[in-house]
Structure 1
């Protein structure tokens, strides 16, 4: 690239705007659209023509997995040009560029139209890596790259029963979790490591726990060898010869830069289209940005470097000679309710690692520090300080030895577990890392009339790329984030309501009556008066109470962490019903006196508050009001307090029965 001559800046072409040829952008993905917006902002007279191969209007590819998961609507994917003067920009949808004449400086699309250019920007993105396997073109075999791909997968999710996902990178993980439904089976092929081999063994284990708890089976080190079927996929065969029934195969095995057009017109390519620090290709009037380019022997499979490259490219075209440099990697996986990502340098020479692990809560946190400067981080599991950590990595913030030691104990940097309100953060605090939007810019937008996340996005672009900052936008707007749907929520709701009915029956109904007839040799009152049956029901009740405590044990001790916590909650609610029935048998629905009354009141109170917590948790995704969620917290605290009172009361009760 050192042989390139300095390209003449764009303003030299626009002495007479009516005569100037436009800047042509090939590719209308997020990076191409960003370049067009910057050109309009930086040059008063520039004309721009954008070619998009797909017929759909520009959309945000980064959030396709969120659309697949049902977390964003199709309308929220829209990525229109955010400019005031649209007269200078022409968008050509469904027009694929098939030829470029670098001598005449023209491009030709697949409909025969020839368009001249003053500067050409290639933002052709990347394409899926598809394994060289026979039958990969059968029906039921998909890649996941476009909006049409996403719509096809949404249709498959409702009909396919046995799905197999290839690829354990961010897209593969997001796809597997999004495709999982209660009535289907999803297997995820992992050739080496989940997400990134640099995460380390402990991080891999914690992330694997979450994937498995989501109902997804992980297939390790046994890659796909064959696809079997006539017109539609029926089975797959793995490397060890095992055959698996499969009616939907999704290939998320990575991407490679789209270099076909660049190669065809004679530009220098290796892994991608080779560019210099100004984003110029081997032709000084042709630029390449985003996932299609290669700079300093690196290619880029994420969008944020593409935005910086677009800025560098436009700065150079408009006569401001800004140089691009490789930035820290910032990768985030967007699961339903689980934060996962890594940022900055993970394996820097001379760096020290500080880790915090809590597998019980599904949390792994790692800080990479060099000379007391934070240069990298791994986050698996939710962390209130996540955004602060991202910014600290970007700014290489200095951390004290005391803070790092405390982090290894508590998992926190600032020792403030309560989330800070966004409105109290400094005005220059960066809320949206993808677009570099600060808290001050967002506050000004709110003051000017923006009252929703969508309108804030339109005004500032915050939250329009990866979407990970949307909870902070909601915090700033004082709008509650949507709650998550709990597993078995209908069953837990039913069990909780049944428990409340049984409690009401125990308290307000008449005690079970004593049989008056002497014609039967066995009477029901023996259950609560006969010493033997009294002990049977009493110890059965005690056993059920001990079994119900398994949920608390599961939460607090790693070795008991088997299965998903929602399944344990379901079992806990069923055991609660059985315990109530046994209590009714043991007491004959009599509340008792003195110590017995106190024990009965505490037991019923604990069961009632637990049932109310179950109702709140089962309906959590329908209630977004903060006060309702606070009610659940208070009922939980009362429930736990009453449960701690049960063991001593039970002990006194058993002692009094046997002693007296």
Structure 2
């Protein structure tokens, strides 16, 4: 690294101010497109560029200092000068040069500002006490680690992504975290129900969540006589005792350099669709840029802007049309993400659809405007989440049957549709953290980066939250490890028994069992379906069991009792098996006539498809092939469709029995 050097050439270089993720992305994109380009990059921090998304992992101890990803590796042959720990003080626009803090001048042909943002600190008493920390860079992490100890009670102010991730990281580190939230948790990312589920999850991890706006950080003297923060007070007079306070209350775009240079600013540095500032030779990207009145404080849009800027400073004319707001919670032991379009027509009617799994481990919500997807929220595992995010970005239309399928299953498309990353289009985003598309990964594979580790090193994909690593494995030809279905053994046994009984009932009922000679008196098996008392007992038992099975089928949004979803699924199959036994006792395996025959055949077909679907669900965990998914889906939907006429047929059967 040539620190604090100036690039002196006949033609002035492209200068990038800012060595964060967006600035280094611009540098790499320029050198990827034009390896011999003359570029100089400046950064305030003395450290080489690192991945800020890993700072919480560094704090929690999940990541060692030596493993903090370095963003600076460049091609072996390049013509770039790296100036880290060298702050740019002014821009001499008239002479096309930047001036650093030492007074050195660096001419530029094009200038890019990727200077990011600074932590926003609430204007409340006590915010400047020595044990009140912001959380933005490596220095903040070092400070928190140097003063930390197991059992230390830390209050985190702020209910956004960083606040939640910080609270989880501190809890994993062995400290006691309390998250103080002014309104709803992840209010900009999640809807009300998703926020509630996340609160429940955090509380289960031992993290206290307090709702209330902080009005003061109360200080007191410690054993050394120093005034330090000892409590956080909220507007409702609640006092939360603490040993330390960490601020995760948002950021403000860094615009001081632009203001001093006379560039147009608002909340951020104003840019046009080409990401040019009011000076056509100066561009801005990332958290400091304001495009069409909007400032993006997320890394995904920053990377998209970086790709556009890199092309435009090299002479292209590529427009930036805004970004979908995609967020993903990391380090909280629960998958939580959202994706919303940049602009919504407030005059357009908004329709919301939501789905929650039986065990409440998965919650999903869609937002539609005039039938088109404009937003999605997800809590829990969602393998098809990539596709729904792409649909939101493109404003795809959902058909009525797709909406019904989402309400029933949580997916608007069938599970086997484009399930493999190998079927994704080139523009689809594989790694949301780093903004890496399927097309970029294909290019890396063609260049010889054919392992997961090589793809991660070359593209940085999978080095954020890690949720896309299995996609990289599939692209690299490494098969994913099958995950066993919970309760697979009892589910298999119950499903096979139900299937066998249903098949036996069908075979023995054609022809029906011959009547026995009961003239000698005594009790016979035929009394079960011939004597009125026994027949009523089996009939009402069968009716009750059918109602219980129906209730278990309809518990789409509720959870009850001590069992998990897998446990209730086994109970459902066992109940269906017992219903077959009661059916045999009630009918003697005679199918009857007219509507009674239709009722009996519907019941047996229901049991056959239910048993087949249950067995395929258990088998799919050990062999997740597309054929099994299709067969299981066909069995499931056939089972559901056959259940609908059952209550009507039962009602006619009971009415005809007692009426006639």
Q: When the two structures are superposed, what TM-score results if normalisation uses the length of structure 2?
A: 0.66
What residue is the counterpart of 2:321 in the other structure?
A: 325
What residue is the counterpart of 1:287 in the other structure?
A: 283
1:343 lines up with 2:360 in the alignment: no
- Consecutive unaligned residues in structure 1, runs of 5 or more: 1-16, 484-551, 566-625, 628-660
> Structure 1's 279 and 362: CA in aligned 2 closer, same or farther, altered over 3 A?
same
> Structure 1's 413 and 184: CA in aligned 2 closer, same or farther, altered over 3 A?
same
What residue is the counterpart of 1:573 in the other structure?
A: none
Q: CA deviation at 1:266?
A: 2.1
1:100 lines up with 2:91 in the alignment: yes
What residue is the counterpart of 2:162 in the other structure?
A: 171
What residue is the counterpart of 2:269 in the other structure?
A: 273
Q: CA deviation at 1:251?
A: 0.2
Q: CA deviation at 1:160?
A: 5.2
Question: Matches of 1:283 and 1:263 in 2, distance apart?
Answer: 12
Select between 446-455 and 229-238 the one with higher mean Cα deviation: 446-455
Q: 2:114 aligns with which of 115, 119, 123?
A: 123
1:296 lines up with 2:296 in the alignment: no
- SS state of the match for residue 378, structure 1? strand
Assess if the C-alpha contact under 8 Å between 1:26 and 1:122 holds in 2: yes
Q: 1:223 aligns with which of 214, 218, 222?
A: 214
> Structure 1's 148 and 198: CA in aligned 2 closer, same or farther, altered over 3 A?
closer
Q: CA deviation at 1:482?
A: 13
Assess if the C-alpha contact under 8 Å between 2:42 and 2:83 holds in 1: yes
Q: Within 5 A, what are the aligned runs for 1:125-274?
A: 125-159=116-150, 161-181=152-172, 184-197=175-188, 199-230=190-221, 231=226, 232-274=228-270
The superposition leaves residues 378-437 of structure 1 with CA deviations (integer Å, 9 ceiling, x where unpaired) of 112221211121122223333331121121122123343899454565677542345564
Q: CA deviation at 1:447?
A: 7.3
Q: 1:313 aligns with which of 309, 323, 327?
A: 309
Question: Matches of 2:297 and 2:471 in 1, distance apart?
Answer: 26
Question: Matches of 1:420 and 1:74 in 2, distance apart?
Answer: 37
> Structure 1's 450 and 277: CA in aligned 2 closer, same or farther, altered over 3 A?
closer
Q: 1:36 aligns with which of 7, 17, 27?
A: 27
The superposition leaves residues 86-112 of structure 1 with CA deviations (integer Å, 9 ceiling, x where unpaired) of 441000111111222222222222233
Question: Matches of 1:336 and 1:481 in 2, distance apart?
Answer: 23
> Structure 1's 407 and 95: CA in aligned 2 closer, same or farther, altered over 3 A?
same
Q: 2:44 aligns with which of 53, 62, 68?
A: 53
What residue is the counterpart of 2:457 in the other structure?
A: 458
Q: Within 5 A, what are the aligned runs for 1:560-575?
A: none
Assess if the C-alpha contact under 8 Å between 2:61 and 2:173 holds in 1: no
Assess if the C-alpha contact under 8 Å between 1:167 and 1:188 holds in 2: yes
Question: Matches of 2:311 and 2:105 in 1, distance apart?
Answer: 27
> Structure 1's 184 and 434: CA in aligned 2 closer, same or farther, altered over 3 A?
closer
The superposition leaves residues 322-376 of structure 1 with CA deviations (integer Å, 9 ceiling, x where unpaired) of 2222121111111342111111239652232211024843322011233443232
- Consecutive unaligned residues in structure 2, runs of 5 or more: 1-7, 484-551, 565-620, 623-660
1:432 lines up with 2:428 in the alignment: no
Question: Matches of 1:116 and 1:440 in 2, distance apart?
Answer: 36
Q: Within 5 A, what are the aligned runs for 1:591-606?
A: none
1:410 lines up with 2:404 in the alignment: no
- SS state of the match for residue 473, structure 1? helix
Question: Matches of 2:482 and 2:207 in 1, distance apart?
Answer: 24
Question: Matches of 1:482 and 1:19 in 2, distance apart?
Answer: 59
What residue is the counterpart of 2:12 in the other structure?
A: 21
Question: Matches of 1:317 and 1:430 in 2, distance apart?
Answer: 24
Question: Matches of 2:115 and 2:133 in 1, distance apart?
Answer: 21
What residue is the counterpart of 1:538 in the other structure?
A: none
What residue is the counterpart of 1:380 in the other structure?
A: 379
Select between 384-393 and 220-229 the one with higher mean Cα deviation: 220-229
> Structure 1's 181 and 79: CA in aligned 2 closer, same or farther, altered over 3 A?
closer
The superposition leaves residues 74-132 of structure 1 with CA deviations (integer Å, 9 ceiling, x where unpaired) of 45542434542544100011111122222222222223322222222111101111112
Q: CA deviation at 1:172?
A: 0.6
The superposition leaves residues 165-212 of structure 1 with CA deviations (integer Å, 9 ceiling, x where unpaired) of 000011111111111148543211111111125743222222221122
The superposition leaves residues 42-85 of structure 1 with CA deviations (integer Å, 9 ceiling, x where unpaired) of 44653111111111111111332343344555455424345425
What residue is the counterpart of 1:367 in the other structure?
A: 366
Assess if the C-alpha contact under 8 Å between 1:160 and 1:248 holds in 2: no
> Structure 1's 248 and 475: CA in aligned 2 closer, same or farther, altered over 3 A?
farther
> Structure 1's 418 and 306: CA in aligned 2 closer, same or farther, altered over 3 A?
closer
What residue is the counterpart of 2:549 in the other structure?
A: none
- SS state of the match for residue 365, structure 2? strand
Question: Matches of 1:112 and 1:452 in 2, distance apart?
Answer: 47
The superposition leaves residues 239-268 of structure 1 with CA deviations (integer Å, 9 ceiling, x where unpaired) of 333333211111000011011111222222
> Structure 1's 226 and 431: CA in aligned 2 closer, same or farther, altered over 3 A?
closer
Q: Within 5 A, what are the aligned runs for 1:513-552?
A: none
Assess if the C-alpha contact under 8 Å between 2:60 and 2:173 holds in 1: no
- SS state of the match for residue 329, structure 2? strand
Residue-pair matches, total:
484
Question: Matches of 1:246 and 1:319 in 2, distance apart?
Answer: 55
> Structure 1's 444 and 52: CA in aligned 2 closer, same or farther, altered over 3 A?
closer
Assess if the C-alpha contact under 8 Å between 1:67 and 1:73 holds in 2: yes
The superposition leaves residues 201-237 of structure 1 with CA deviations (integer Å, 9 ceiling, x where unpaired) of 2222222211222211111124241331343333333
Assess if the C-alpha contact under 8 Å between 2:189 and 2:377 holds in 1: no
Question: Matches of 1:229 and 1:160 in 2, distance apart?
Answer: 20
Select between 93-102 and 181-190 the one with higher mean Cα deviation: 181-190
Question: Matches of 1:229 and 1:417 in 2, distance apart?
Answer: 61
C-alpha root-mean-square deviation of aligned residues, in Å? Answer: 3.6
> Structure 1's 445 and 263: CA in aligned 2 closer, same or farther, altered over 3 A?
closer
What residue is the counterpart of 1:68 in the other structure?
A: 59
Assess if the C-alpha contact under 8 Å between 2:215 and 2:233 holds in 1: yes
- SS state of the match for residue 356, structure 2? strand
Q: CA deviation at 1:438?
A: 4.8
Question: Matches of 1:443 and 1:344 in 2, distance apart?
Answer: 27
Question: Matches of 1:181 and 1:143 in 2, distance apart?
Answer: 19
Q: CA deviation at 1:304?
A: 1.7
Assess if the C-alpha contact under 8 Å between 1:156 and 1:248 holds in 2: no
